[in-house]
Structure formats: C-alpha cells, structure tokens
Amino acid sequence: MLSQNKKQKPLKLLYTYEERIPKNLRELVLSFLPKDEFEIDSMTYALPDEEKIKKLKWAEIALFAPGRYLSEKVLKEASHIKLMQLWSSGYDKFNVAGAKKYGIPVANNGGANAESVAEHAIMLMLSFAKRLPDSHQRVVTGNWKGNGHGMDMFMLKNKTLGIIGFGNIGQAVAKKINGFEMKVIYYDIKQQPPEAERGCGATFAEFQKLLQESDIVTLHLHLNQSTERIIGRKELSLMKKGAVLINVSRAQLVDQEALFLALKDQKIQGAALDVYTEEPTKPNDPLLNLPNVVLTPHMAGSTYDAYVIAMKNAVANFRRVKNGQKPLWVVN
C-alpha cells in the first residue's frame, strides 16, 4: 500500500522571457519557484518555433514573463499544457485565441500590478500639472529665465477626474486620488453597485458626459475590438480645452493621429503617456516632440513590489493546478 504522504513529483515548468529582460529580474522570478515543487527549464521568444515546440512538449505548465505572441503551430503542439500563466494584467500581445483553440487555459496576474499602475497614473497627472520635466531641466541647466511663475501649472484639488475603465486599476486610482480632493467620475460597461462606488469615492457617468466634464481623463481598459480607438477625433472634440489625457494602458485605445492634431492645435491642454504604438519609440515621432506631453517608457506596472505580487499569484495558481483545482484569473 502506498503511503498517503508520498511526495508529489515536481511540476515541469517552462519559463519564457524576452532577451531584453535583465539578469536580476530573471533571478527574482526564479527565486519564487521552489526547486522541490518545480523542475524548471527556460527559453526566450527568439528561439525558432521548432525549438519552442521541443521545450513546450517537455513542460506541464508555463510562465510567460512577459506574455508575447506564440504561433498556432507552436500552440497546437502544446495542447497538453495545464496552464499558461502570464505575469502581466494585459494579454492582448499573447495569442489567447490560439491557446483557447487548443484547450490551453491562459491566466493573467490577478491584478498584481494594479497598485503600481495606479500610482504611475497619478504621478503622470502631477508631473503634467506641475510641469515636472521642464522644471527639472531648468534646474539642471540653470536656465530659470522664461519660466511661467506658475501661470502654466494647476492643482488637482477641486478638479474633476474621469476614469474610463473601472476594474482593479481604475478603482485603485479612484481610491488613491481621494486624498487630493478631486471629484471622481467613471465610465465602464458595467456600473458598480452603490456601496462599491462609495468605497472608491466615485460616481458613474455616461461616456459622453465624462468626456465633457473631466479636467483629466485617464484610461484603464484592456485592449480588444470594442475598446480599440475608443478615444478618437470625436471624443477628443468633446473634451475641455484645458483637459489632459492620461494613458497607461495601451496606445491603441487612442487614435494617435487624432491625438497628435488635438495636442498640436491645442484642442486639449496636453497628454501624459506610458504606452506607444511602436515600442521602443523612435526619436522622429512627431507626437513625442510636442511641448505639451509628458512621457515614460511603458513602465507603469514595472516595480519590484508588483513583480513580487505577480510571482506569488503565479505560484499559487500553479499549486492549484497541481492539486487538481481550476486556476484563477483565466482570460480565455
């Protein structure tokens, strides 16, 4: 008779990453995977499909950090994988439909980076309001002459913040911004119950009304067919002339040509962006050279603390699979 306490075999885990991921971050990921629970192999997305297939055929579960596209040719040979776990919240760059076709569950990080992204969105609001990049440069160069003496700056207090997309990140933004004494309104395809709205200090507004009333509009949506270019020429024309657009989600949520023209012609006051249609960005991109933009290099969710939470969630999900339970946060 076999002992009931017989130790389970380690799960065969394939860790996939981009070559640009620094060594210390890869080491952090591996440090969360106990060797008595996981037998680990790794690969980069740069491998040819034939090599990816060999690696995946060996594996039982897979971690993609970050999640990037896999061809259907590869996924077809990986139909035995019990879970493909992403460390990110977004999954538009992963072949989710292909994985679904071959019966492979794909899970995101369960909101692990929500607090980090929310903090970043608020930082961009403040950076624009206080002209931080220009102010920093003036101090570094000693060129204080010609500054606006605050006439080109504003406070967040008593302004209206419009949040488009009221999931984990949108709600985190609402809760954090309450300390700035802003009026907070939100739009989502699903209105939250009154107690949830009170908990976030936010009230629901129809999409058009939100655009018309907000001093700052911030986007917190997943990219899909229904959200692509949700902000276009018409929507930008509805915004106040003094309004600012914040985008820490996906560049494709916004019609980039329409945004460029609205900023260039000062139809809106400005924009603060963390995401771009082409990444890394190119220095000749006219949008990036406008004086009324504040920019960061797609880093809103990239903090040490967020990585730790994401890896804890990933390991918890792998253990669920190992114990015969359904994984959490499945997106397909």
pTM of the model: 0.93
**Residue at 84: amino acid letter:** M
Catalytic residue among 250, 257, 278, 319: 250
Kindly report, residue by residue over 30-77, the tens digit of the pLDDT: 999 999 999 999 999 999 999 999 999 999 999 999 999 999 999 999
CATH class belonging to 11-112+303-322: alpha beta
DSSP single-letter state for residue 330? B
pLDDT digits (tens, 9 = 90+) for 134-160: 999 999 999 999 889 999 999 999 999
Q: Are 58 and 14 in contact (CB under 8 A)?
A: yes
Choose among 36, 195, 75: nearest CA to 13.
36
> Is 279 noted as a catalytic residue in this protein?
yes
CATH 3.40.50.720 domain extents, the chain: 11-112+303-322, 114-295
Which CATH entry fits the domain spanning 114-295: 3.40.50.2020, 3.20.20.150, 3.40.50.720, 3.40.50.2300? 3.40.50.720
Which of 72, 181, 206, 279 is the catalytic position?
Answer: 279
**Tokens at residue 114, please?**
């929500």
**DSSP label at residue 303:** -
Dist CA 246 CA 243 (whole Å) = 10
In the set 68, 222, 298, 320, the catalytic residue is 298
Sign of the four-CA dihedral 293, 299, 303, 306: positive
Active site residue 298: yes
* Pairwise CA distance, residues 185 & 304, whole Å: 30
